[in-house]
Structure 1
């Protein structure tokens, strides 16, 4: 578990650095997005990953690793949007945005450690392609919940799906050797 925590934190730290750099470039333009738009953006990235996995070909230079990182950051954006849904769009100071990012990721890590304990790190024996499919399934579930205006009979809400998607994307990056190649 210690190795998982270390690797997880490395992935998240690098994703956060990308998030912060993009915030300097673009500001918080993403705050204009409604949750279904964020969900669709995540879906596009996951579908591209699956297409590359299935065909072994890509025409755009950016590979699957940046796409998984984008999935993580868009899910964090979605969780922040859920938290701030009653507040109008606004720009954040870097420290404020950093704290929002950390708060969401810390909640997701708590979920990971609880599930990882119960499942005995089963994800380490899974294929990246299977985890990609699970991400896509969770996105389709999220889209259905959104289409149902957030109403569920027995299922968790969209926030739980975003959290699971983050964890699977982190697992994929670890399995792809991301933490072996990047120094944070």
Structure 2
């Protein structure tokens, strides 16, 4: 929301594929940092997970908009749309957590990163197929899973509060 107040909704210019690629870059950087254990840029993994979450929400907002919608959205409306998507995603996480018995707690953070990258590759394939799937979830469900994996990873590394 702070960036929305600073920059407005400049992200509205991004096509869905560009948002997916932006998320991919952040996830790939996390994986590189996990493997190399050294960062040459003074930003760690947590800001990348936060960026992933925010870009996923932006992507979900964009999914419900079209080219004829206004480019600039009032900050209050962005906040409401952000909250709506986060709440839907949290509800999904709670439902899946129930069904999977909180299996994420026994996972490695690196596995969560890999799952994020796998989900992004799935989204890219769906985008390349113009949204057509035979049996797969759509892109929104993948973005929601990516958000939840990011939250789980931050919890596991001791950053997020439940």
Query: Could you say which residue in structure 2 is the equivalent of 1:27?
Result: 8
Query: Could you say which residue in structure 1 is the equivalent of 2:142?
Result: 161
TM-score (norm 2): 0.96
**What pairs with 1:39-78 in structure 2 (closer than 5 Å)?**
39-78=20-59
Residue among 146, 154, 161 paired with 1:173? 154
Query: Could you say which residue in structure 2 is the equivalent of 1:9?
Result: none
**Shift, 1:93, TM fit:** 1.9
Provide the rounded CA distance (Å) in 2 between the counterparts of 1:37 and 1:150.
15
Query: Could you say which residue in structure 1 is the equivalent of 2:19?
Result: 38
Q: For residue 160 of structure 2, give the secondary structure of its aligned residue in structure 1.
A: helix
Cα distance per residue 1:101-126 (max 9 Å; x no partner): 01111110111011000011110111
Residues 76 and 105 in structure 1, CA contact (< 8 A), matched pair in contact too: yes
Q: 1:108 aligned to 2:89?
A: yes
Provide the rounded CA distance (Å) in 1 between the counterparts of 2:7 and 2:66.
21
Q: 1:131 aligned to 2:112?
A: yes
Query: Could you say which residue in structure 2 is the equivalent of 1:14?
Result: none
Aligned CA-pair RMSD = 1.1
The count of residues paired between Structure 1 and Structure 2 equals: 161
Provide the rounded CA distance (Å) in 2 between the counterparts of 1:73 and 1:87.
23
**What pairs with 1:134-149 in structure 2 (closer than 5 Å)?**
134-149=115-130
**Shift, 1:87, TM fit:** 4.1
Query: Could you say which residue in structure 2 is the equivalent of 1:120?
Result: 101
More helix by share: 1
Q: Which runs of 4+ in 1 moved over 3 A?
A: none
Cα distance per residue 1:131-154 (max 9 Å; x no partner): 000000000000001000000011
Provide the rounded CA distance (Å) in 1 between the counterparts of 2:148 and 2:154.
10
